[in-house]
Copies of this chain bind each other. A is one copy, B any other.
């Protein structure tokens, strides 16, 4: 069993979620400049995390059913971050705040270990992501991500996938045709 599902199960069992938030399509859960030290569990719908550089958006990550998402930099260092988190359709998330989360983590060495595994997992994911983005050819970038995350192409509109893949929607459209 992977550490993330494990973590979610334990938080569920101990009923540690604070509350549920309902987001309308396009609504923001977090915007640039804010501090957000919550962790969210997506119950339904989908979200994306993105940053803006000089009027251009770069999608960093998506979240859908049963995924944990957070503004991880803000969560870790408790400072404002540049990330936006936006719902792509009507979305429900559950919330746990950092204080509660930390006390959960510190309540047992097993929990500590789980959180450690989750972080390690994230590091490995980020290393893969780095390679995805570095790949020069748009076709190869597409193939890499399609192979690892095929479900993504069913859940998420192409324009956001294009942004995630570091290309324009036009280029993605042309790749899919060929």
Q: What is the interface of chain A, defined by CB distance below 8 A to chain B?
A: 51, 53-54, 56, 58, 60, 72-73, 76-77, 116, 119-120, 122-124, 126-127, 129-131, 133-137, 140, 166
Chain B residues positioned under 8 Å from A127 (CB to CB): 72-73, 126
Select one of B124, B131, B133 contacting A51, CB under 8 A. Answer: B131
The reply to whether A130 and B60 contact each other, CB–CB distance below 8 Å, is: yes
Interface centre among A72, A120, A124 (most CB of B within 10 A): A120
In the complex, what's the smallest C-beta–C-beta distance from A70 to chain B, in angstroms?
11
A66 to chain B, nearest CB (A): 22
Specify which chain B residues have a CB less than 8 angstroms from the CB of A131 in the assembled complex. Answer: 51, 53, 58
